[in-house]
Amino acid sequence: MTDAHLASSALAQPTENRERLPYGALLALATAGFITVMTEAMPAGLLPQMSAGLNVSQALIGQLVTLYAVGSMLAAIPLTLATRSWRRKPLLLTAIAGFAVANSITAVSELYWLTLGARFIAGIFAGLLWALLAGYASRMVAPHLQGRAITVAMLGAPLALSLGIPAGTLLGTMVGWQLSFAIMTALTLVLVIWVRLRVPDFAGEPEGKRLPLRQVFTLPGIRSVLFVTLSYVVAHNLLYTYIAPFLQPSGLASEIDRVLLAFGLASVLSLWIVGSLIDRWLRELVLGSAALFLLAAIALALWRASPAVVYAAVSVWGLAFGAMPSLLQTASAKTASQAADTAQSMLVTLWNVGIAGGGLAGGLLMGNVGVGAFPWIVAGLLVLTLYAAVMARGHGFASGR
């Protein structure tokens, strides 16, 4: 069989298969996302242990998370562009294998600089992986199921944040931080086998159909999706990063784990609700998510000292945020069509810019206006988010109905 026949057979799945969600393959993608988020956030939960083990300050251990995000931010676009001609399955396996290598180095390292380098490598592969997932999931199913497929593929991230990170932190205190990363390597190797057995392969972009980055950026609706992504993520991380000092007036600073658990559980519930609606109600769900987050921010601004209001508002915030990555990636994939992976790489880059920007802005603002003003700043950002999404009614956030 010729290469052309192989490529066409990979792209042309039987209609009956594309009319059903391939849960085995989609959950493999979700597990990849779970491993990515766990790898990113584990140093934050294991700060004291890693600080003692590597003989550096906790502030320097915190930079392990920062450098991971920097790697993702720098690598997503150039790596996606450089690998557009690659077949998708070998590329996906390469990205996953990168985590096995990075976590293995971290598990045996006793040197801070070596661990730092491993984290940067992990961030690079994370940028590539996140750029792949939404486009990969959407190609497995018929167009009217793409949103649901992407939602299932994105399930790993909120599960990692709500359940995986607390479990990983507990595991680290029991068996040590190095063995925790070794367990992540073992999980990654299992995932490699899973992907080889259950995930279909697809051809890369044909040379004649590859749009330049600038042309993808100017596709109708793409800039609206990217602006909404940036403003929403900055708003989220401005408040989420500094939630501990924000909670002090309510007396909940010692219950930060419970507050974040409420946020995480609401995020998972959000995915369950949105999964069956996303393909028909994408525009309405994006507007509803931004509006709910806006209401939660206003409630936190006005009744910050009330524990009951804080728990309720944080839960509403989690309900709003949980499905937003799936909504934004679905909007990007549908808007960019054949250039979905390139569009996703831009979205991933701006997502990481939003994470870094929210944390940086919060640090600067905390000393000037105080953390109590953060919900009002968040509300202002969300008004801009809502305006951009409302105006993108023709392209970007068009009605799926």
Structure tokens given for 120: 């940067």
Q: How far is CA 187 from CA 164, 183, 194, 234, 290, in A?
A: 13, 6, 11, 32, 35
CATH 1.20.1250.20 boundaries in the chain: 7-208, 211-391
Which DSSP symbol is given to 212?
A: P
What CATH code would you report for 211-391?
Answer: 1.20.1250.20
% the chain with pLDDT above 70? 93
| pTM assigned to the model | 0.78
Rounded to whole angstroms, the Cα distance separating 150 from 30 reads: 9
pLDDT tens digit sequence for 250-285: 777 677 777 878 888 888 888 888 877 887 888 899
Tally Cβ neighbours within 10 Å of residue 11: 12
**Better pLDDT: 308 or 211:** 308
Rounded to whole angstroms, the Cα distance separating 187 from 179 reads: 12
* Residue 85 DSSP SS3: coil
Structure tokens given for 388: 């951009």
Orientation of helix 222-240 relative to helix 340-366, angle to 10°: 30
CATH 1.20.1250.20 fits 7-208, yes or no: yes
Rounded to whole angstroms, the Cα distance separating 81 from 42 reads: 29
pLDDT tens digit sequence for 130-145: 888 888 988 898 888 8
Residues in the chain: 401
Do 298 and 171 form a contact (C-beta atoms < 8 A)? no
Do 344 and 132 form a contact (C-beta atoms < 8 A)? yes
